[in-house]
Chain A
């Protein structure tokens, strides 16, 4: 089935389910994606009335992880007394995972959430397309059959879809939300674990320490520490981020290499076992930094050591909230 056809079916499914949930008053609002006003983007939208469901779209340009609006809960999703409304979420796999993680961490009550699941077929890699198009203005972007057609004023270029989606989408194993039937309508699944070889991480690990440092240094060179990655992340919801603390000041906030690398290192550490590999951090970066290899490494660590994949269920305890006498300690210093 071509991507174009898949998208149309997904859209129909989303709109039907949204309409059903709203008309049966199972939800008060539905959050999803709508058509963007500039190419290579989409706007999240809150639908309050049945007649507006046709504004919901799925066009492979839906980068924001909508679970981001659940913690802290957006004022538009609360009633006049500040309690959560009943919310329907258009959930691709990673959005569903994020909702599960937030439920585990008691940031969200699953009784108020209904996921409108569908089988996600990926998002277009916007920074890669921008890079290849260069200094020409993109006026339109379409998915036709299995190709991405990018149009300008008097030019057109075609890209094969499978090659030009986000790297994380290429290796995604949880395309539709993993949730129970009570919290999900549409396409859902109940996964207990996934199987992943993490070949890309293994390949990165063959580099020497110097090569890894050089790679990370080069990738993070344009970083301006704007914190968009942190703001877009659905599981980064701390009231006071570690980097903003000033009693004491732990780490610097300048654009020196040390400060930049440390911010990303510690944010990655805080996401261990919680990151849902949605790629929103890379998609929202204003200078186009793509650190999906770190996301993959985080997933690999918890899978390898604790056989855990984040967000498959709201019941399992994440590895950083747990411990065991039998944990591996091969990294510890021992006598010869």
Chain B
């Protein structure tokens, strides 16, 4: 068992402190005015973004260093003393959790670079001129939400898990409320409802077995009354389902689009990663087994709805931002269908493996589409499909990235998403559920049609392309990085498939 020394972690985070102090200058503009000249403030305005990007790099490095022992089947544990007698803030990284953490950091890094890119685009691309303090607040809130999602993924105690999930949702509430206070309130509602359902399940478990530790869960629950166990599992499932389904996203996601493109993507994707990984982590234990029929039915209904509703809305989208938003919703549908299929007693492990793989690949592909929308909007001033055309000549990189990200989401070979679809559809047919497999294939075809339709409208039409501003090196680099990443994973899926197999041998094979 690998144990992380607290001193090492504290030392690593102390290195961030100077950047944090610099970032505060932009986070608190009134203080900044007193201490710094205008030129100094302009020079330091990038600090919050670079702080956040640096934190993501450090997170990726730290997670990568912890992955080898986790993939070898040894849990990585960091014990923090939180309260003396109530609950311990104990972090435990198994392979699945660490892969999900990796995905959260991987999502955050380009996101913060992207914010830097938007800043460099100048006043036309921002709301308040070159020094955009709102952007700094957003950067801080995204970072906080990321941190809480990571704490939830790694927490070894159900009460700490509830705490972390709720704080992550509160951070997302703040993030959305900066520009849309009324719509952001849905996150507050979600935080309270999901939190109380999860807390109810955790406390019922504590009442029965006197402990809320996740590690000892399967053995502890053996002594539990079956009816209470069923109630516990249903409460926890109901608490996690809204996170996976992206339910809060349906109503308002597309209406956030006139804002910074990456901002609305962050809450939806974070929720899906966090909810899915938590569900996968709790699924194999006894905890969720009694609730499987309920779980499967709810997952399937929500999943098919998300998949088809998102796909259809993407197909009829009139701007690239809305297209990206609805593709993101559709992605949560794949995860839910995979989880529902995995609940079948005879389901092959491939379907659950597909859900685990989707945690890593869907954010990558969705981020690519969001980046294309931002790239086009930043350079041409609009991403409305009727107004843009023939851009393959002026922005070939954006066209390639759109195809790579979109077709990967639809599972077209040889891109990364193909391996998810291969495992999912193969598993469904192997489990004698061909009808569901055909429904998923049809949804894939719908997504392919939507992606090709947008590509044809924006890049292939004969009209002259709109005038384009010079490309930001940050945004161009981000697009190139994401496109190459999707292609490389698709062509060389070995490590990813190996990792998901390891998850089954370790985290997901927990049985009483």
A and B bind: no
User: Chain A residues in contact with chain B, CB under 8 A?
Assistant: none
User: Chain B residues in contact with chain A, CB under 8 A?
Assistant: none
